[in-house]
Amino acid sequence: MPKKTKVFISGKITGEEETYKKKFERAQHRLEALGYLVMNPAVLPLGFEHQDYLDICYTMMDACHMIVLLPCCKDSKGSCMEQQYAKELGMPIWTLDELAPEREWTAEEILRQEG
């Protein structure tokens, strides 16, 4: 079985508490539909210090082949730091729309993602 390319999603979480989980989840589904294995930091529980999250995310990134940026990443201190870390690692950096362009989904694909 061929190994899947592992990707880390980077985007704004702090200040987006009402919407970030859905944004990251949609990105994860788009990437998984293309065959990527996704590390999604939005699954981490609330309550840690900002540096704790960065340390965890850096470890998640160490296991990945590339980083994928959500459109909201420009306004995120943490995402900027993740991008800098990716550059230090020599990790490719893509935007979500570059790697997984938005498209129409079939009913079967939607059901498969939800199941």
pLDDT tens, N- to C-terminus, the chain (115 residues): 567 999 999 999 988 888 999 999 999 999 999 999 999 999 999 899 999 999 999 999 999 999 999 987 788 899 999 999 999 999 999 999 988 887 655 666 555 655 5
Q: What pLDDT was estimated at residue 64?
A: 97
Position 39 in a domain: yes
> Distance (Å, rounded) from C-alpha 99 to C-alpha 57?
20
Within a domain: 22: yes
Do residues 39 and 70 touch, judged by C-beta distance below 8 A?
Answer: no
- CATH code, domain carrying 96: 3.40.50.450
Is residue 17 in a domain?
Answer: yes
Phi, then psi, of 34 in degrees rounded to 5:
-95, 5
**Domain annotation covers residue 1:** no
Task: Tell me whether residue 14 is in a domain.
Answer: yes
How many other C-beta atoms lie within 10 A of the C-beta of residue 82? 26
pTM to 2 decimal places: 0.85
The range of the structural domain enclosing residue 91 comes to: 6-114
